[in-house]
Amino acid sequence: MKKTLPLPDRPFWEIRQDDFLYADKTEYIYRILNVDKYKTCFLSRPRRFGKTLLLSTIAALFTRERDLFEGLWISNSDYKFEKHPVLNFNMGFSKTGTPEELITRINDTLTMMADTHGIRLKSNAYGEMLGELLAGLHGKHGKHGQGAVILVDEYDAPVIDHISDRDLALENRNVLHNFYRSMKANICYIHLAFVTGITGFVMSSLDSGPNNLWDISLKPEYAGICGFTPGELVTCFEDRFPETIRSLQDQGVLGQNDDFEELIALIKKYYDGYNWLGSENVLNPYSILCFFEQQKLGSYWPKTGRPSHLTALVRENPLDFILPQLDGYPIDEVLISDITNLSAIPVLFHSGYLTIDRQRVMMTKSNGFEMTDDVLSFRFPNREVAIAYNKTIFKDVFKPNRNYLSNMTKELPNALAQKDSDAVEKLLRNLLTSISYLEHPTASQLAPYETFAESWQNPASEKYAVSEEPNSTERYYHAILHGSFLSAGFDVHSQGAGAHGRNDIALFLNDKFRVVIELKYCALRMLTDKGGKSGNESKMKERLEKVIEEALDRAENQMRRKDYAGPYRAAGCRVTCMAVAIWDRDKVAVRFLEN
């Protein structure tokens, strides 16, 4: 008999009492308590990934009867099932709060807990109140060597919910710092402290307060502590596979002869891919539950909302977030960041929009000494997240006209198949025209990357150079094309690696048709005389034509020399290569390469 899916979210005890579906995570909890014997733990995972359920499981382990765990892994282990008082804190209660409101909420929570256990608190300062409560619980309920269990959910909410107001975020961080400092000072009264949240960098910025918390976020043995592993996907949902296959066949998503293997491949394509340095990827639990509940592919997790701190940071530094650079980030830089100067990769990783692709060791030299550094490369975890992220970021930053995107959806595949350069130029020109000049990058936004003068031609030179290395403006237009193609519903891959380099964009129009695009941006300053004044109209036209031809020539030569089409042809695909030159914000030239 199929178990009911736990939608909406339900606590562990309710899931077990009412026989809802549950992926057994008790072996991980046993490892924390009996193998690694951690007294304090910290875990970061994206929103809707099962952190709250994990905490309620731990709470039930110390407060409920053993019968609740009957049939789970831990019930067959040597775990003692000892009772301990549990203190639950959810810092998400202050999403719009000032530091004063945050302190009041913490004080009220501590007072309520003390009243529940019949303990009288003398202080009205939350740090001292926590110490009094822990000491009181130890004296009243504990015996030698025992203590309370502290569970903290959404620990970082008071900070990241106010990231657009750095002063307020820092003030709330100071409140949290004092809370964890009190917890550290009273560690002798604590049996286990387990803290969870979305980000790791807020925890790392709390100075010495929580430095006794052991971070298990990237420990391989705990990679599957939240979410569904591939094995759990089968054991938990196998009884739903037959009807799900029939439903997807009726929708035309699966073929009439497709079966178990095709369903698993489809699920993994859309919802698999999260990795925290474990041997297996983890599937997004919320999306998987919704998929089997509704029996259709959908953008489930992204529709639950986007973290407010991500929206605020995108508005501050749009170019960082449109096409983030995903290779070679030191682990420390990802996990330990300054909240006053956050970069895109840590924010996107902790928010669930990126996941770890691989880890490698990089050799560096410092003061004559060779050193090694563990670095990470990142990727989008799956198709669901990649499409949703690029669509929302693209629309937030560029605000394109929807009609142009609709026209692109209808007309671009045929124009590419026919190699109709005029039609493609018109579609791209209309797209660029639809983006207000107010949305184009300003000099201050370009400054952190490269300026026109640094990126392009020396004004004293007569050569109309077009660099193979993209500058920030070219990267900006690359982002527009990438985002518009995705928003129009196409399968888009940027910076695909081949044997000799990375192409700019590859459009996967169907299983056997690929369009490889190389983009060049032509700076208008190339069209002026040495003194900076414009020449006559015919001379300017001649110079413009030379610049455009050189841009297209360089794009074509680069695609041929580095064989960008090779990997796709080797996979049995039909490949079309297209060079694109852009200038003057909304002018486009296209050239299709002859095979």
State how far the Cα of 87 lies from the Cα of 489, in Å rounded to an integer. 48
CB 588 within 8 A of CB 548: no
- For tokens 């700019």, name the residue: 504
Asked if the peptide bond before residue 448 counts as cis, ω within 30 degrees of 0, the response is no
The architecture of the domain spanning 12-222 is 3-Layer(aba) Sandwich (3.40)
Q: What is the dihedral of CA 201, 207, 208, 209, to 10 degrees?
A: -70
Category of 153 on φ-ψ map: left (φ > 0), alpha (ψ -120 to 50) or beta = beta
- The CA-CA-CA angle for residues 220, 298, 381, to 5°, reads 25
- Report if pTM > 0.75: yes
The first and second tokens of residue 73, run together, are: 């892994």
Q: What is the pLDDT of residue 285?
A: 95
Q: What are phi and psi of 453, to 5 degrees?
A: -65, -35
The first and second tokens of residue 41, run together, are: 């733990």
State how far the Cα of 595 lies from the Cα of 588, in Å rounded to an integer. 22
- The CA-CA-CA angle for residues 382, 276, 376, to 5°, reads 90
Q: How far is CA 364 from CA 274, 329, 337, 369, in A?
A: 29, 13, 21, 8
**3-state secondary structure at position 450:** coil
Q: How many CB atoms within 10 Å of residue 578?
A: 23
Q: What is the pLDDT of residue 472?
A: 64
- For tokens 């100071």, name the residue: 174
Task: Provide the residue-wise pLDDT of the chain in tens; the chain has 595 residues.
Answer: 789 999 988 999 999 999 999 999 999 999 999 999 999 999 999 999 999 999 999 999 999 888 999 999 999 999 999 999 999 999 987 555 789 999 999 999 999 999 999 999 999 999 999 999 999 998 876 554 479 999 999 999 998 888 888 889 889 989 998 899 999 999 999 999 999 999 887 877 665 555 678 999 999 999 999 999 999 999 999 999 999 999 999 999 999 999 999 999 999 988 988 999 999 899 999 999 999 999 999 999 988 877 777 877 877 776 677 767 787 788 877 777 777 778 888 889 999 999 999 888 876 666 666 767 788 999 889 888 888 887 777 777 777 777 777 888 899 999 999 999 999 999 999 888 877 544 444 444 433 333 333 333 333 333 444 444 456 678 778 888 887 887 787 888 887 766 677 888 999 988 789 999 999 987 654 444 444 455 566 777 777 788 889 889 999 999 999 999 999 998 899 999 999 998 877 789 999 998 6
- The CA-CA-CA angle for residues 331, 337, 342, to 5°, reads 120
Question: In residues, how long is the chain?
Answer: 595
Q: What is the pLDDT of residue 455?
A: 33
Q: How many CB atoms within 10 Å of residue 525?
A: 12
In 132-263 the beta strands, taken as DSSP E runs, fall at 148-153, 190-197, 214-215
State how far the Cα of 453 lies from the Cα of 442, in Å rounded to an integer. 15
The first and second tokens of residue 62, run together, are: 């110390």
The first and second tokens of residue 143, run together, are: 């015996």
Q: How many CB atoms within 10 Å of residue 279?
A: 10
- Give helix then strand counts, H and E, for the chain: 24, 13
CB 57 within 8 A of CB 50: no
| Four-residue CA torsion sign, 52, 58, 59, 61 | positive
Q: What is the pLDDT of residue 142?
A: 55
CB 333 within 8 A of CB 416: no
Exposed/middle/buried for residue 458 (C-beta within 10 Å: 0-12, 13-18, 19+) = exposed
Q: What is the dihedral of CA 408, 412, 415, 421, to 10 degrees?
A: 70
Q: What are the structural domain ranges in the chain?
A: 12-222, 230-301, 306-379, 399-592
State how far the Cα of 12 lies from the Cα of 8, in Å rounded to an integer. 13
Q: For 352-468, where are the alpha helices, taking DSSP H only?
A: 383-398, 402-417, 421-434, 443-446, 452-455
- For tokens 């910025």, name the residue: 205
